[in-house]
Amino acid sequence: NGLPEHSVKLINSLESLKGLFDLVLIKVPKTLALLEDQLIRLRPHLMPSTQIILAGMIKTLPPSIWKMLERLVGSTTTALARKKARLIFASLDADLAVPANPYPVCYRLEGSDYLISNHANVFSRDSLDIGTRFFLQHLPARQDAFDIIDLGCGNGLLGLMAAERNPAATIHFVDESFMAVASAKENFYRALGQERKATFRVGDGLTDFEPNSADLILCNPLNSQERY
Protein backbone atom coordinates (compact mmCIF):
# COMPACT_ATOMS: atom_id res chain seq x y z
CA ASN A 1 0.00 0.00 0.00
CA GLY A 2 3.00 2.30 -0.37
CA LEU A 3 3.47 3.01 3.32
CA PRO A 4 7.08 3.08 4.54
CA GLU A 5 8.01 -0.09 6.43
CA HIS A 6 9.16 1.86 9.49
CA SER A 7 5.66 3.32 9.94
CA VAL A 8 4.38 -0.12 10.98
CA LYS A 9 5.09 -1.52 14.43
CA LEU A 10 4.64 -5.27 14.75
CA ILE A 11 4.12 -6.84 18.15
CA ASN A 12 3.64 -10.47 19.09
CA SER A 13 0.63 -11.95 20.87
CA LEU A 14 2.19 -11.62 24.34
CA GLU A 15 3.57 -8.08 24.12
CA SER A 16 1.73 -5.30 25.94
CA LEU A 17 -0.18 -2.71 23.98
CA LYS A 18 0.45 0.97 24.62
CA GLY A 19 -1.86 3.97 24.35
CA LEU A 20 -5.42 4.36 23.16
CA PHE A 21 -6.71 3.38 19.73
CA ASP A 22 -9.17 5.16 17.42
CA LEU A 23 -9.67 2.19 15.13
CA VAL A 24 -9.23 -1.56 15.78
CA LEU A 25 -9.43 -4.13 12.95
CA ILE A 26 -9.55 -7.80 13.92
CA LYS A 27 -9.55 -10.84 11.67
CA VAL A 28 -11.38 -13.35 13.83
CA PRO A 29 -8.82 -16.01 14.78
CA LYS A 30 -9.49 -19.74 14.49
CA THR A 31 -9.26 -20.13 18.25
CA LEU A 32 -11.98 -18.30 20.18
CA ALA A 33 -9.86 -18.44 23.33
CA LEU A 34 -7.28 -16.31 21.47
CA LEU A 35 -9.98 -13.76 20.60
CA GLU A 36 -11.06 -13.73 24.26
CA ASP A 37 -7.47 -13.10 25.35
CA GLN A 38 -7.03 -10.40 22.67
CA LEU A 39 -10.25 -8.57 23.68
CA ILE A 40 -9.35 -8.58 27.37
CA ARG A 41 -5.87 -7.25 26.58
CA LEU A 42 -7.31 -4.63 24.22
CA ARG A 43 -10.03 -3.33 26.51
CA PRO A 44 -7.90 -0.86 28.55
CA HIS A 45 -6.79 0.67 25.22
CA LEU A 46 -10.30 1.33 23.89
CA MET A 47 -12.43 4.48 24.18
CA PRO A 48 -16.21 4.80 23.70
CA SER A 49 -15.36 6.49 20.37
CA THR A 50 -13.06 3.67 19.20
CA GLN A 51 -14.33 1.99 16.03
CA ILE A 52 -13.91 -1.79 16.38
CA ILE A 53 -14.44 -3.90 13.26
CA LEU A 54 -14.06 -7.67 13.09
CA ALA A 55 -14.21 -9.79 9.95
CA GLY A 56 -14.49 -13.51 9.31
CA MET A 57 -15.90 -16.15 6.98
CA ILE A 58 -19.47 -16.99 7.99
CA LYS A 59 -18.85 -20.72 8.27
CA THR A 60 -16.02 -20.18 10.74
CA LEU A 61 -17.80 -17.59 12.91
CA PRO A 62 -19.39 -19.38 15.88
CA PRO A 63 -22.60 -17.81 17.27
CA SER A 64 -20.89 -17.45 20.65
CA ILE A 65 -18.68 -14.68 19.24
CA TRP A 66 -21.53 -12.15 19.61
CA LYS A 67 -22.00 -13.03 23.25
CA MET A 68 -18.26 -12.80 23.83
CA LEU A 69 -18.09 -9.32 22.28
CA GLU A 70 -21.05 -8.10 24.30
CA ARG A 71 -19.55 -9.57 27.46
CA LEU A 72 -16.03 -8.20 26.97
CA VAL A 73 -16.43 -5.04 24.87
CA GLY A 74 -20.00 -3.72 24.57
CA SER A 75 -22.84 -3.48 22.09
CA THR A 76 -22.34 -5.43 18.90
CA THR A 77 -23.98 -5.30 15.47
CA THR A 78 -23.29 -7.03 12.15
CA ALA A 79 -23.42 -6.12 8.48
CA LEU A 80 -25.10 -8.24 5.83
CA ALA A 81 -22.92 -11.10 4.63
CA ARG A 82 -21.01 -10.60 1.36
CA LYS A 83 -19.13 -13.29 -0.55
CA LYS A 84 -19.54 -15.66 2.44
CA ALA A 85 -17.85 -13.15 4.77
CA ARG A 86 -19.28 -10.92 7.46
CA LEU A 87 -18.27 -7.77 9.28
CA ILE A 88 -19.05 -7.31 12.98
CA PHE A 89 -19.00 -3.91 14.69
CA ALA A 90 -18.50 -3.45 18.41
CA SER A 91 -18.31 -0.39 20.60
CA LEU A 92 -16.98 0.01 24.09
CA ASP A 93 -19.32 -0.01 27.06
CA ALA A 94 -17.03 1.52 29.67
CA ASP A 95 -19.32 0.38 32.53
CA LEU A 96 -19.14 -3.35 31.79
CA ALA A 97 -17.72 -5.48 34.61
CA VAL A 98 -15.18 -7.54 32.70
CA PRO A 99 -13.70 -10.69 34.27
CA ALA A 100 -9.96 -11.11 34.79
CA ASN A 101 -8.06 -12.74 31.93
CA PRO A 102 -8.32 -16.53 32.48
CA TYR A 103 -5.15 -17.22 30.42
CA PRO A 104 -2.75 -18.89 30.80
CA VAL A 105 -4.69 -21.94 32.03
CA CYS A 106 -3.04 -24.85 33.86
CA TYR A 107 -3.55 -28.56 34.33
CA ARG A 108 -1.53 -31.23 36.08
CA LEU A 109 0.03 -33.77 33.73
CA GLU A 110 -1.43 -37.20 34.52
CA GLY A 111 1.02 -39.57 36.22
CA SER A 112 3.35 -36.72 37.23
CA ASP A 113 3.62 -33.66 39.47
CA TYR A 114 4.18 -31.39 36.48
CA LEU A 115 1.96 -28.37 36.16
CA ILE A 116 1.35 -27.59 32.48
CA SER A 117 0.59 -23.97 31.74
CA ASN A 118 -0.98 -22.93 28.43
CA HIS A 119 -1.43 -19.50 26.90
CA ALA A 120 -4.69 -18.88 25.03
CA ASN A 121 -3.63 -20.06 21.56
CA VAL A 122 -1.90 -23.27 22.61
CA PHE A 123 -2.97 -26.66 21.24
CA SER A 124 -5.00 -28.75 23.69
CA ARG A 125 -4.67 -26.12 26.41
CA ASP A 126 -7.21 -27.60 28.84
CA SER A 127 -6.12 -31.24 28.95
CA LEU A 128 -3.70 -33.77 27.52
CA ASP A 129 -4.47 -34.49 23.85
CA ILE A 130 -5.06 -38.21 23.13
CA GLY A 131 -2.46 -38.17 20.34
CA THR A 132 0.10 -36.60 22.66
CA ARG A 133 -0.75 -39.17 25.36
CA PHE A 134 -0.11 -42.01 22.88
CA PHE A 135 3.13 -40.37 21.70
CA LEU A 136 4.34 -40.02 25.32
CA GLN A 137 4.04 -43.81 25.75
CA HIS A 138 6.47 -44.30 22.85
CA LEU A 139 9.13 -41.66 23.48
CA PRO A 140 12.61 -43.12 22.92
CA ALA A 141 15.17 -43.24 25.73
CA ARG A 142 18.67 -43.14 24.23
CA GLN A 143 22.13 -42.66 25.70
CA ASP A 144 23.35 -41.19 22.39
CA ALA A 145 20.66 -38.55 21.93
CA PHE A 146 22.43 -35.25 22.65
CA ASP A 147 20.22 -32.90 20.66
CA ILE A 148 16.49 -33.48 20.52
CA ILE A 149 14.10 -31.17 18.66
CA ASP A 150 10.49 -30.82 19.77
CA LEU A 151 9.10 -29.65 16.42
CA GLY A 152 5.77 -27.83 16.75
CA CYS A 153 6.24 -28.00 20.52
CA GLY A 154 2.92 -26.48 21.66
CA ASN A 155 3.11 -26.48 25.46
CA GLY A 156 6.33 -28.51 25.24
CA LEU A 157 5.09 -31.73 26.82
CA LEU A 158 6.91 -34.01 24.39
CA GLY A 159 10.23 -32.22 24.87
CA LEU A 160 9.77 -32.10 28.63
CA MET A 161 9.18 -35.84 28.92
CA ALA A 162 11.96 -36.55 26.37
CA ALA A 163 14.30 -34.58 28.63
CA GLU A 164 13.36 -36.86 31.53
CA ARG A 165 14.03 -39.99 29.49
CA ASN A 166 17.22 -38.71 27.82
CA PRO A 167 19.21 -37.10 30.64
CA ALA A 168 22.21 -36.21 28.44
CA ALA A 169 20.17 -34.36 25.85
CA THR A 170 19.67 -30.68 25.17
CA ILE A 171 16.09 -30.13 24.07
CA HIS A 172 15.38 -27.61 21.31
CA PHE A 173 11.81 -26.36 21.28
CA VAL A 174 10.37 -24.71 18.17
CA ASP A 175 6.88 -23.57 17.26
CA GLU A 176 5.45 -20.93 14.94
CA SER A 177 3.38 -19.59 17.84
CA PHE A 178 4.85 -17.16 20.41
CA MET A 179 2.26 -18.34 22.92
CA ALA A 180 3.30 -21.97 22.43
CA VAL A 181 7.01 -21.27 22.86
CA ALA A 182 6.38 -19.11 25.95
CA SER A 183 4.26 -21.92 27.46
CA ALA A 184 6.88 -24.57 26.64
CA LYS A 185 9.60 -22.47 28.28
CA GLU A 186 7.59 -21.90 31.46
CA ASN A 187 6.66 -25.59 31.69
CA PHE A 188 10.17 -26.89 31.06
CA TYR A 189 11.98 -24.70 33.59
CA ARG A 190 9.26 -25.10 36.24
CA ALA A 191 9.51 -28.90 35.92
CA LEU A 192 13.26 -29.40 35.49
CA GLY A 193 14.90 -26.23 36.78
CA GLN A 194 17.02 -23.59 35.05
CA GLU A 195 20.13 -25.80 34.94
CA ARG A 196 18.69 -28.22 32.41
CA LYS A 197 19.89 -27.32 28.91
CA ALA A 198 17.29 -26.24 26.38
CA THR A 199 16.73 -23.72 23.61
CA PHE A 200 13.45 -22.08 22.64
CA ARG A 201 12.65 -20.45 19.32
CA VAL A 202 9.71 -19.14 17.37
CA GLY A 203 10.16 -20.31 13.81
CA ASP A 204 8.88 -22.16 10.79
CA GLY A 205 9.61 -25.88 11.07
CA LEU A 206 13.30 -26.73 10.92
CA THR A 207 14.24 -23.62 8.92
CA ASP A 208 16.51 -22.17 11.61
CA PHE A 209 18.34 -25.41 12.44
CA GLU A 210 21.71 -26.38 10.96
CA PRO A 211 21.69 -29.50 8.74
CA ASN A 212 22.49 -32.71 10.69
CA SER A 213 22.20 -30.92 14.02
CA ALA A 214 19.67 -33.26 15.69
CA ASP A 215 19.87 -36.83 16.95
CA LEU A 216 16.13 -37.10 17.39
CA ILE A 217 13.17 -35.05 16.14
CA LEU A 218 9.78 -35.37 17.81
CA CYS A 219 6.71 -34.08 15.97
CA ASN A 220 3.03 -34.51 16.66
CA PRO A 221 1.74 -32.84 13.51
CA LEU A 222 -1.32 -30.68 13.29
CA ASN A 223 -4.28 -31.91 11.32
CA SER A 224 -5.09 -29.00 8.96
CA GLN A 225 -8.79 -29.16 9.98
CA GLU A 226 -7.92 -28.98 13.65
CA ARG A 227 -9.09 -26.06 15.80
CA TYR A 228 -7.71 -25.45 19.27
Binding site for ligand SAM (CB under 6 A): 123-124, 129, 132, 152-154, 157-158, 174-177, 180, 204-205, 220, 222
Minimum CB–partner distance for residue 1 and ligand SAM (Å): 27
For residue 30, the Cα-to-chain-centroid distance in whole angstroms is 11
Minimum CB–partner distance for residue 125 and ligand SAM (Å): 10
Residue among 144 and 204 whose Cβ is closer to ligand SAM: 204
Number of neighbouring beta carbons within 10 Å of residue 4: 6
**H or E segment at 61?**
none
Residue among 38 and 177 whose Cβ is closer to ligand SAM: 177
Give the C-alpha separation, 61 to 139, whole Å. Answer: 38
Helix (H, G, I), strand (E, B) or coil at 154: coil
Minimum CB–partner distance for residue 170 and ligand SAM (Å): 18
Residue among 50 and 209 whose Cβ is closer to ligand SAM: 209
Residue among 58 and 134 whose Cβ is closer to ligand SAM: 134
Closest CA to 29 of 65, 74, 78: 65
* Beta-bridge partners for 209: none
* Beta-bridge partners for 12: none
Closest CA to 166 of 190, 193, 197, 200: 197
Minimum CB–partner distance for residue 217 and ligand SAM (Å): 12
Residue among 69 and 174 whose Cβ is closer to ligand SAM: 174
Residue 129 is which amino acid?
D
Minimum CB–partner distance for residue 184 and ligand SAM (Å): 9
Residue among 67 and 227 whose Cβ is closer to ligand SAM: 227
Minimum CB–partner distance for residue 174 and ligand SAM (Å): 6
Give the C-alpha separation, 20 to 185, whole Å. Answer: 31
Closest CA to 12 of 201, 205, 207: 201
Minimum CB–partner distance for residue 137 and ligand SAM (Å): 13
Question: For residues 119 and 113, is the Cβ–Cβ distance under 8 A?
Answer: no
Give the C-alpha separation, 111 to 95, whole Å. Answer: 45
Residue among 90 and 179 whose Cβ is closer to ligand SAM: 179
